[in-house]
Amino acid sequence: MWEVVVVSLAFVVISAFVVIGIRLRAKFLLQYPTLKRFYDSMLLGFGTLALAKGIFTITLLFKGFLKSSYNLLVQIGMITSVTGGIILLFGWMLLLKGITSKYKFKPIIKSEREDTLKLSSGLYICPDECFNLFSRLLVGRVGIVISRTPPNTLKELLNLSEEHIFWLTKINGKNTIHPHRLEYLLQSLVDFMRSTDLPKVILIEGVEYLTIENEFPSVFKFLTSLKDYAQIHNTIILVPVDTEFFSEKELSMLKREFPIPTE
């Protein structure tokens, strides 16, 4: 009898876990869209295990009536359990892949001729859109554009291909960057800066959007880290800033840490 109690309890607990997981799925994917396959795999895996426990529960409860079907049901339950375990293992592999993946940037290379505009390496904030300055600095440098403005709009302003523009958005797709993945964006940008000894320039447009999604302290920490890496890896980073968006204290911190470029 104790076997029936244990298996039945396992069936109830796992089934409840699956039901709760289904109810929380939309909220989870809103925050972590890149982990969709992991989440769905876990739901499917636990759902399969719940089915297996259900089969074992029925088998134990009605063992005396099943007779010749008993062994068959036990085998089906075992196969279902193994299948659920394999799905869960696959889900964990997807999780590891998701949390360790980085963004792969396709840099812009326009010309080897340098512009007369000289700026030392580091991160600069611009009180305007910075697009003209970025275009000038791009001559003779390897560049990357990260923007809240959709690529099909920004490509005309910068005269670039969409493949070189990475869009800050919660929509999952090619060349998109989720605003909550600051740590992955930071590491990917650092990898880019380390990838070549050539001079580099990066435009990050949409800091206000990042602030709404992550709050100011996290974004400020993200920018200061980028500044430090830029200074040692021959990189200029331009960040357009809407001065009316930030509080007086936040704007003061930005201006104290990051200079405004002078042409």
Helix (H) or strand (E) holding 236: strand 235-240
Q: 50 and 112: one domain?
A: no
Average of per-residue pLDDT across 152-167: 77
With beta carbons less than 8 A apart as the criterion, state whether 61 and 82 touch: no
Q: 112 and 92: one domain?
A: no
Higher-pLDDT residue of 106, 63:
63
Q: 121 and 172: one domain?
A: yes
Q: Report pLDDT digits (tens) over 46-60.
A: 889 888 888 878 777
Q: 250 and 131: one domain?
A: yes
Average of per-residue pLDDT across 10-33: 81
Higher-pLDDT residue of 70, 141:
141
Beta bridge partners of 125: 239
Average of per-residue pLDDT across 234-258: 93
Q: In this predicted structure, what is the pLDDT of residue 1?
A: 63
Q: Please count the structural domains in the chain.
A: 2
The reply to whether 263 falls in a domain is no
What is the rounded distance in angstroms from the CA atom of residue 220 to the CA atom of residue 93?
A: 33
The reply to whether 145 falls in a domain is yes
Q: Could you tell me what percent of the chain has a pLDDT over 90?
A: 24
Q: How many CA atoms lie within 13 A of 227 on its CB side?
A: 15
CB burial of residue 204 (10 Å; 0-12, 13-18, 19+): buried
Average of per-residue pLDDT across 223-228: 95
Specify which of 58-62, 81-85, 120-124, 167-171 reaches the highest per-range mean pLDDT.
120-124
Q: In this predicted structure, what is the pLDDT of residue 247?
A: 93
Q: 132 and 243: one domain?
A: yes
Residue 194's SS3 state is helix
pLDDT higher than threshold 80 for residue 39: yes
Q: In this predicted structure, what is the pLDDT of residue 207?
A: 94
Q: 66 and 87: one domain?
A: yes
Distance (Å) of CA 262 to CA 126, 227, 253, 259: 10, 17, 19, 9
Number of neighbouring beta carbons within 10 Å of residue 260: 11
In this structure, what are the phi and psi dihedrals at residue 236, rounded to the nearest 5 degrees? -110, 130
H helices of the chain, in order, are 2-31, 36-61, 63-66, 69-100, 131-138, 151-158, 182-194, 207-214, 216-232, 248-257
Last residue of one domain, picked from the residues 100, 118, 141: 100
Q: In this predicted structure, what is the pLDDT of residue 257?
A: 94
Classify each residue of 91-104 as buried b or exposed e, where b means 16 or more C-beta atoms within 10 Å of its C-beta.
beebbeebeeeebe
Last residue of one domain, picked from the residues 55, 80, 100: 100
Q: Report pLDDT digits (tens) over 98-123.
A: 655 555 655 555 555 555 567 889 99
Last residue of one domain, picked from the residues 75, 100, 125: 100
Widest CA span in the chain: 91
Higher-pLDDT residue of 161, 244:
244
- Read off the pTM: 0.65
Q: In this predicted structure, what is the pLDDT of residue 25?
A: 86
Residue 176's SS3 state is strand
Q: Which domain holds residue 92?
A: 2-100
What is the rounded distance in angstroms from the CA atom of residue 32 to the CA atom of residue 94?
A: 13
Considering only 81-85, 91-95, 145-149, 186-190, which range has the smallest mean pLDDT?
91-95
What is the rounded distance in angstroms from the CA atom of residue 176 to the CA atom of residue 168?
A: 6
Q: Which CATH number is 133's domain given?
A: 3.40.50.300
